[in-house]
Amino acid sequence: MTSSGPPGTPGSRGVHPAWLPDEAFRPIGSRRTLLCGGGPLAGTVHEEVASACARYGGSVRRRAAGPDEAPEAGADDGAGDGADEGGPYDLVLALTTAGPLPAVTETALAGFRRGPAPGDGPAVGPDIGPVIGTAGGDERIGDEGYVVARHEGVTVVLADSATGLLYGLFHLVRLGEEAFGAARPAEHHRPAARLRMLDHWDNVDVHPVMGQVERGYAGGSIFWRDGALRDDLTRVRAYGRLLAACGVNAVTVNNVNVHATETLLLTDRLRDVAAIADRLRPYGVRVHLSVNFAAPVALGGTATADPLDEDVRAWWAAVTARVYEAIPDFGGYVVKADSEGQPGPHAYGRDHADGANLLAEALAPFGGVVHWRAFVYNHRQDWRDRSTDRARAAYDHFTPLDGRFRDNVILQVKHGPIDFQVREPVSPVIAAMPRTRVAVELQVTQEYTGQQRHVCYLAPMWSEVLGFRPWGPAGPGVAHVVAGDVADGAAGGGLVGVSNVGDDPYWTGHPLAQANLYAFGRLAWAPSSDPAAILDEWIGLTFPAAAGGNDATGGDDGRLREALHEIMDDSCGTYERYTVPLGVGFMVRPGHHYGPDVDGYEYTPWGTYHFADRDGVGVDRTRATGTGFTGQYPPPWSEVYESLARCPDELLLFFHHVPYGHVLHDGTTVIQHIYDTHFAGVEEVERARLRWAELAGLVPDAPHARVRELFAEQLRCAEEWRDQVNAYFLRKSGVPDARGRRIP
Amino acid sequence: MTSSGPPGTPGSRGVHPAWLPDEAFRPIGSRRTLLCGGGPLAGTVHEEVASACARYGGSVRRRAAGPDEAPEAGADDGAGDGADEGGPYDLVLALTTAGPLPAVTETALAGFRRGPAPGDGPAVGPDIGPVIGTAGGDERIGDEGYVVARHEGVTVVLADSATGLLYGLFHLVRLGEEAFGAARPAEHHRPAARLRMLDHWDNVDVHPVMGQVERGYAGGSIFWRDGALRDDLTRVRAYGRLLAACGVNAVTVNNVNVHATETLLLTDRLRDVAAIADRLRPYGVRVHLSVNFAAPVALGGTATADPLDEDVRAWWAAVTARVYEAIPDFGGYVVKADSEGQPGPHAYGRDHADGANLLAEALAPFGGVVHWRAFVYNHRQDWRDRSTDRARAAYDHFTPLDGRFRDNVILQVKHGPIDFQVREPVSPVIAAMPRTRVAVELQVTQEYTGQQRHVCYLAPMWSEVLGFRPWGPAGPGVAHVVAGDVADGAAGGGLVGVSNVGDDPYWTGHPLAQANLYAFGRLAWAPSSDPAAILDEWIGLTFPAAAGGNDATGGDDGRLREALHEIMDDSCGTYERYTVPLGVGFMVRPGHHYGPDVDGYEYTPWGTYHFADRDGVGVDRTRATGTGFTGQYPPPWSEVYESLARCPDELLLFFHHVPYGHVLHDGTTVIQHIYDTHFAGVEEVERARLRWAELAGLVPDAPHARVRELFAEQLRCAEEWRDQVNAYFLRKSGVPDARGRRIP
């Protein structure tokens, strides 16, 4: 039998399997498995195991309840080696609700309180536990959690819910042969954040400027094509499978900029959304919808969209009820309101809390949530006015509203105060809304980080964001805020990523950009994970032939792993070096945002300036002499950023305007740092390119060729960045490179 | 009877009549006219006069041959005051071929050789006479010429051809009541250049980036709409009428960038072109077509487009023959080849002469011409390479080919060496091709001069170009080159303008931009005309109510004329002041080219740089230390431009890179000049805006309101230019404004 995973496995369709190639299932598929548990998601688990067994000769037996009952209808054993149907098993996958379990699983369950699982209830309340822990007290496994152990030659996965069981199965896939090696004590895994969501900026109609996918660099949408739902949604199911395997549990299926056709998804085109939900549901992924705040007017339902108007409230209540009739596990609404031209409550003299609560009220009876984006600023700023600071905007808009949002409103905050630049400080809003559920939004799609033509592994940047401690080293971190794990804080809002996926055969355009999607899910589940370890997981899963399967101790001769770590671990640092220096941001070509244009946004209404002149560069955001943005942070950061001496070098120009001769902590001047990093960044790209070339033969030909071509473009573009930025600052400063290199 | 000119008069359709309002025909329409002459174009003359008489009570009698014959079928008298049908007449319009003429016309004809008119033969050979002259010798009136005189109370217009008679009629319209005042000796008018052409950059299909009209700022195309010929071509005829009234006799109906659908105009969609030709023919305007050099391949006719291939030659011959079957007076082809991505002969190892001659050969049997554009340069230049100079490109490409072009090839040269900037030197190509017919291309559409949102009367700039004497004060000027009026030179190629017309109610978006279209035609006819006098004509014709009709001695109280001269005469100078300093060019936003972006093109492949650094600005194009471009001029200009001391200030930065402290001839430094002119330019716009506001009531409400709104935008944009340019150079130079004004 050739490549043929469960329905939706794309291997046979010319679509790259990403981190779920058939080979990754060999350790499970070649063993004897007992699955205890009923229901549709347990059916997915069964399907996965059976499919693997069909390929690799193992077997699976399923029972929905007690051990003596007949297998559930529809469940059957995989083709196998004729092992005793009643046991013994190498692997037991069991719901704690599945009646009497084999003795070995009972042993593994010791220390856990067996109780009714929360079932498939709405994802409202917080259910945050430790990222990983060895079972000890009398704790529940939890909604999406699982316990994994190995005793007496049997690997056991236990979960309170079938979703947890599914996550446990993919945990074993990641472990590979290790899962069946030495004994291991019970480990309890639970996601840090309950909501781990990908937002698709996909348009239904092809937008005349932004195309099918706004800021998409991987082809068309997997959901939509030329104004309609795609006929074949096979890939949507395969996407759900990939997401479950990295821990994502929610997807928003349309762009936050909601145009005319997309407004109709809420009503006339709701069946399209339901069709997507049907494909994602087997993998525990819920569907959310971006809505137009003015939908009641746009769809002709009411004369106003005023959030305090009774007709408007009734309209949203009725429409939302119909959404839940069609999609009982619908996740909720995502809203970009009063931002970059989108409608919102301000038109009616209402504020963001009024607006968000309107929708929250409609969703509450069904357990849905509103993701209300905090990306609100004046995009018609006068560049002459240095007192207005876009960085301040979200804080200024939203902190006065803290405490006014309903508990099913999640304020979705971009990780930095500006807009997904390769280097920004963490947004002060995250630490400023103790009575509001906050989600942090990351950009998996590489709008400002090379647009999936450049290698840029983003996990280290995200890890820094999640590990940032706004109140200083003794306080909680960003990860705790989004997990709701802060004393006296609100429930967490989770982690949101803007998806980098399209209908490209590799899903992400650049084959190596798959690692960003994978890492997003893994960090959302376990924010304290080491980015290099995540990458290592991804390498093992994605390149099983060369890397010896997903078993790090297996046949891997180490060359591919080593090379990919060299190429990718610090690729985001490399990107930062050859692009925008010292945190100043936005030196990209206006509009498409690819490639350099140092002054491209300097005299525009977008609020993104560097203020370079012949003497110096940077934005003074201090309280003493600048815009006062530093005051939006709690101590110690309010003081650290304010201080020219203490401000971290990499953020120097974000917070301060300094002379070119200003000396950084490493002893180099700002101007020399600019030259040095730009030369270094290009050299690093060139080294990575050559390193990749050496992998011919180790990596399959097709992705190897694709990445090789992309490296040529990355190198060209990096040289363009180096030369433009260096030439710009040389012309402006007049300071020659201390090392005498050629600057054009 | 309400507003109702001849068919095509747009007054009744909500389209502005431009310089042909009904009122302009009152002096003719209220008098008794005899028209002697047959044929379709004389029919147009009759229609014009009869229509005017119907409105204003005069009469017209037409006879095709002798005075005793019956009027030609279809000719009839206008409603009138019952004047004697046999005479006397106030006005005689006569073809010299129309048999015995009234005595008074014979008097006027004295001094002119009566002979067969050249008829409607092809527009190949030169037929250039003096721009205007009092009849003296035994000369022919000439193909498009006319003689106008007034004797014994009768105004007489004589012409050898009906086209000439039509131009003579419009001459009377311009004169207004003056035409019927004091006696005037016979004046002989002939166009300086035989070809006076407008190129439309109109697309048939709406281009995804460039839209229906590339670089069009007046709405959609009057020819095409959404991929097809417009159903209603009434406006095309009205356009032809406006063109005849200012002297234009050729129109290219599609963009020089010939896309897929437009390639088909040559064959499958030829009937569309023929339909346009039918509408323009009554006004003596011929149709030309932009063609795709690769058409034989694109249309599937041949395997190659190699100009030396026999199949290709046969293909063009056959296709061209079919074009002339459909359009017997077809003008010819316009070609942009091997330029900005358009196909051309280079792909086959052939040169531009090979390419142009291929098409010329096909057109020659029918008297057609090829306009071959000289706008050829490397648009993928490396900005780091300062030795490549786009300004040099056309000369370097084409001068080696001088003498190799067939005599029905016209090399169409943009007036400056770069691309229609508000200030450029005259292209050296114009003086460098003595054995080639050269046409000069002007840009009536205001791509770089305010995009018809800014008042920018271009005639003074064009007049400067046409008056420029490449060989010094004693030699001929550009106007003589294009007229073929240079000793030992080739026949002239005429004047070409890129049209500024669209389906906007005012034709040109900005109502005052009509003056540019009008002035283009008038300068093409008579290049030595005074731009202010042309504007005066235009004012009188366009605003007859306020300006006292088109009779400058009439009821005009002078306020409107005076104000419009103040607003428009030096508006191009104003535009230059608030935009790009000292001839350096290209500081516009990339792509759409509207508004400032000082560095927008600085690090791009387009070859348009200013090289500003902290010490100075400008492009060194000297032979001594720069690109050597100055050497492309004959003396004295090769020396004048080379010399920092002698180079005209307004072109200083085009030819030299100078320090900001360089002192101009007027004693100010370059940097202070930049500041001063930018402040002055904005002040001039503000004065013009206020001046226009005062004209409320004098100008009809609708155009007054439109211009008022546009002035608000012009002022906003001018301030943006001032502030960006000044801020840019202040930041770079560090030199404060000597007058202490605020620079942001």
ipTM of predicted complex = 0.87
Contact A188, A141 (CB under 8 A): yes
Contact between A590 and A601 (Cβ < 8 Å)? yes
Q: Give B323-376 pLDDT, tens digit per residue.
A: 999 999 999 999 999 999 999 999 999 999 999 999 999 999 999 999 999 999
B731/A731 CB distance under 8 A:
no
**What pLDDT does residue B73 have?**
39
Percent over 70 (pLDDT), chain B: 90
At residue A132, the 3 state secondary structure works out as strand
* Cis status of the peptide bond prior to A473, with omega within 30 of 0: no
Q: Take residue A244 and report the two structure tokens written for it.
A: 């479950």
Contact: B732, A732; criterion CB under 8 Å: yes
The residue ranges of DSSP E strands in A546-664, in sequence order, are 616-617, 658-659
Q: CA A641 to CA A621: how far, in whole Å?
A: 9
Helix runs in B548-651, H state only? 559-568, 571-578, 637-642
Among A600, A614, A731, beta carbon nearest to B734: A614
Answer whether B731 touches A (CB < 8 Å): yes
Interface membership of B260 toward A (CB under 8 Å): no
Q: Does A618 touch chain B (CB under 8 A)?
A: no
Long-range own/partner contacts, residues A241-244 (CB < 8 A, 24 or more apart)? A241/A6, A241/A8, A241/A9, A241/A20, A241/A283, A242/A18, A242/A19, A242/A20, A242/A507, A242/A517, A243/A198, A243/A280, A243/A283, A243/A285, A243/A521, A244/A166, A244/A167, A244/A170, A244/A283, A244/A284, A244/A285
CB of A728 within 8 Å of a chain B CB? The answer is yes
- Measured between beta carbons, the chain B residues lying within 8 angstroms of A600 are 597, 599-600
Strand bridging mode B658-659 / B616-617? antiparallel
Tell me how far the alpha carbon of residue B99 is from its chain's centroid: 36
| Residue A728 with chain B: CB contacts under 8 Å | 599, 603
Nearest to B732 among A208, A597, A614 (CB): A614
Q: How far is Cα B5 from Cα A102, in angstroms, rounded to an integer?
A: 100
Confidence label for A552 from pLDDT (cuts 50, 70 and 90): very low
Token pair for A581 = 């220096």
Q: Which residues contact A499 (CB under 8 A, 6 or more apart)?
A: A198, A199, A200, A201, A251, A444, A445, A517
Taking an 8 Å cut-off on Cβ atoms, the answer to whether A383 and B731 are in contact is: no
Q: Give the pLDDT confidence score for residue A130 in this predicted structure.
A: 34
How far A613 CA lies from chain B's nearest CA (Å)? 4
Q: Tell whether B730 lies on the interface with A, counting CB pairs under 8 A.
A: yes
Question: CB of A615 within 8 Å of any CB in chain B?
Answer: yes
Q: Which residue of B has its CA nearest to A600?
A: B600
CB contacts, 8 Å: B613 with chain A:
730-732, 734
Residue A643: Cβ within 10 Å count: 14
Q: Which of B76, B340, B615, B694 is catalytic?
A: B340
pLDDT at residue A372 above 70?
yes
Residue B223 phi, psi dihedral angles, 5° rounding: -100, -45
Tell me how far apart the alpha carbons of residues B86 and B695 are, in angstroms, rounded to a whole number: 46
Strands (E), B388-524: 409-414, 437-443, 495-498
Residues 182-211 of A with CB under 8 A from B: 208
Cβ neighbours for B215, distance < 8 A, ≥ 6 positions apart = B201, B445, B447, B498, B593
Structure tokens at A662: 């200003």
What does the DSSP assignment read for B6-37? STT-GGGGT---TT--GGGGHHHHTSEEEEE-
DSSP string, B682-700: HHHHHHHHHHHHTTBTTB-
Q: How confident is the model at residue A75 (pLDDT cuts 50, 70, 90)?
A: very low
Residue A543 to residues A8, A439, A638, Cα–Cα distance (Å): 20, 33, 45
Nearest to B731 among A597, A614, A744 (CB): A614
DSSP β-ladder status, B437-443 and B409-414: parallel
Asked if residue B636 has a cis previous peptide bond (ω within 30° of 0), the answer is yes
Cβ-based neighbours of B300, under 8 Å, separated by 6 or more: none
Is some CB atom of chain B closer than 8 A to the CB atom of A732? Answer: yes
Q: Answer whether A614 sits within 8 Å of B612, measured CB to CB.
A: no
- Asked if the Cβ–Cβ distance from A734 to B384 is below 8 Å, we say no
User: Cβ separation of A727 and B612 shorter than 8 Å?
Assistant: no
Confidence band (pLDDT; 50, 70, 90) for B547? low
A2 touches chain B (CB under 8 A): no
Name the pairing type of β-strands A32-36 and A91-95.
Answer: parallel
Q: Report CB contact under 8 Å: A599, B603.
A: no
Q: Whole-model pTM?
A: 0.90
Is A384 near chain B, with CB under 8 Å? yes
Residue B731 and residue A384: Cβ atoms within 8 Å? Answer: no
Give me the residue from B384, B596, B744 closest to A744, CB to CB: B384
B540 part of contact set with chain A, CB < 8 Å: no
Q: Closest partner residue to A732 among B596, B614, B724, by Cβ?
A: B614
Q: Which of the given ranges, A102-106, A127-131, B66-70, B404-408, has the highest pLDDT on average? A: B404-408
CA–CA separation, B562 vs B568, rounded Å?
A: 10
Q: Does B14 touch chain A (CB under 8 A)?
A: no
Measuring CA to CA, which residue among B165, B200, B195 is closest to residue B42?
Answer: B165
Confidence at residue B555, expressed as pLDDT on a 0 to 100 scale: 46
Q: Mutation test of the interface with chain B: which of A383, A598, A599, choosing the one with the most B Cβ atoms within 10 A? A: A599
> For A598, which of B383, B384, B599 is closest by C-beta distance?
B599
Q: Which residue did the predictor score with more confidence, B98 or A337?
A: A337
* Mean confidence (pLDDT) of chain A: 91
Helices (H), B433-513: 459-467, 478-483
The number of beta carbons lying within 10 Å of the beta carbon of residue B232 is 8
Share of chain A above pLDDT 70, in %: 90
pLDDT at A65: 58
With a CB cutoff of 8 Å and minimum separation 6, the contacts of B27 are B172, B173, B175, B176, B177, B179, B180, B549, B550, B551
Confidence of residue B558 (pLDDT cuts 50, 70, 90): confident
Residues B33, B60: contact at Cβ < 8 Å?
Answer: yes
Q: How far apart are the first and last CA of chain B?
A: 59
CA distances from B483 to A93, B127, B356, B428, B524 (A): 93, 9, 21, 17, 9
Catalytic residue among B90, B329, B447, B684: B447
Average pLDDT over chain B reads: 91
Q: Please enumerate, as own/partner, the contacts of A735-743 that have beta carbons within 8 Å and a separation of 24 or more.
A: A735/A660, A735/A661, A735/A669, A735/A671, A735/A672, A737/A672, A737/A675, A738/A672, A738/A675, A739/A675, A739/A676, A741/A675, A741/A679, A743/A675
The predicted pLDDT at position A137 comes to 53
Which chain A residues contact residue B744 at CB under 8 A? 383-384
The residues with which B696 forms a beta bridge, in sequence order, are: B699
- CB atoms near residue B303 (< 10 Å): 11
Whether B614 sits inside 8 A of A724 (CB atoms) is no
| Cβ–Cβ < 8 Å for A259, A207 | yes
Show the domains of chain B with their CATH numbers: 10-189 (3.30.379.10), 196-415+430-444+475-499+519-529 (3.20.20.80)
Which residue on chain A is closest to B732 by alpha carbon? A614
| CA neighbor of A577 nearest in space, from A740, A687, A413, A695 | A687
Q: What is the pLDDT of residue A109?
A: 78
Residues B581 and B439: their CA atoms lie apart, in Å, by 28
Dump pLDDT digits (tens) for A21-42.
999 999 999 999 999 998 999 9
A694 at B interface, C-beta within 8 A: no
Portion 584-603 of B in contact with A at CB < 8 A? 591, 596-600, 603
**What pLDDT is attached to residue B6?**
44
**Residue B334 identity (one-letter amino acid):** V
A341 touching B (Cβ < 8 Å): no
Check if A739 contacts B (Cβ < 8 Å).
no
Rounded to the nearest angstrom, the minimum Cα separation between A714 and chain B is 17
Closest among A579, A612, A239, A285 to A423, alpha carbons compared: A579
pLDDT of residue B286: 98
Taken in order B544, B548, B549, B551, is the CA torsion positive or negative?
A: negative
Contact list, A724 vs chain B (CB under 8 Å): 603
CB proximity B732 to A under 8 Å:
yes
Q: Which helix (H) or strand (E) holds B371?
A: strand B369-373
The Cα–Cα gap between B238 and B8 comes to 4
- With cut-offs at 50, 70 and 90, classify the pLDDT of residue A569: very high
Predicted confidence at residue A105, as pLDDT, reads 85
A720/A296 Cα distance (integer angstroms): 48
Residues of A with Cβ-Cβ distance to B592 under 8 angstroms: none
Q: Which residue of A has its CA nearest to B742?
A: A384
Which candidate, A698, A705, A691, places its Cα nearest to that of A544?
A: A698
- Whether residue B610 is predicted with pLDDT greater than 70 in this model: the reply is yes
> For B308-398, where are the alpha helices, taking DSSP H only?
310-326, 352-363, 393-398
pLDDT, position B102: 85
- What's residue B79's pLDDT? 37
Q: Is B722 left (phi over 0), alpha (psi -120 to 50) or beta?
A: alpha
CA distance A507 to chain B (A): 27
Give pLDDT, residue B123.
34
Beta bridge partners of A198: A251, A497
Q: Where are the beta strands (DSSP E) in B574-699?
A: 616-617, 658-659
What separation in angstroms does the CA of A430 have from each of A374, A401, A437, B520?
Answer: 10, 14, 10, 62
Over residues A508-543, the pLDDT tens digits come to 999 999 999 999 999 999 999 999 999 999 999 999
Catalytic residues of A: 340, 419, 447
Q: Is the confidence at residue B515, as pLDDT, over 70?
A: yes
Q: What is the dihedral of CA A400, A402, A404, A407, to 10 degrees?
A: 160
What letters, b where the CB count within 10 A reaches 16 and e where it falls short, cover B455-480? bbbbbbbbbbbbebbbeeeeebbbbb
Structure tokens at A227: 């104004």
CA dist., res. B48 & res. B27, Å (int): 13
Please indicate whether, in this complex, the C-beta atoms of B732 and A613 are within 8 angstroms of each other: yes
Residue of B381, B383, B384 to mutate, interface with A, max A Cβ within 10 Å: B384
Distance of CA A275 to the CA centre of its chain: 23
Q: If you count residue pairs, one on A and one on B, with CB atoms under 8 Å apart, how many are there?
A: 62
Q: What is the pLDDT of residue B112?
A: 77
Our CA angle for A691, A695, A697, nearest 5°, is 165
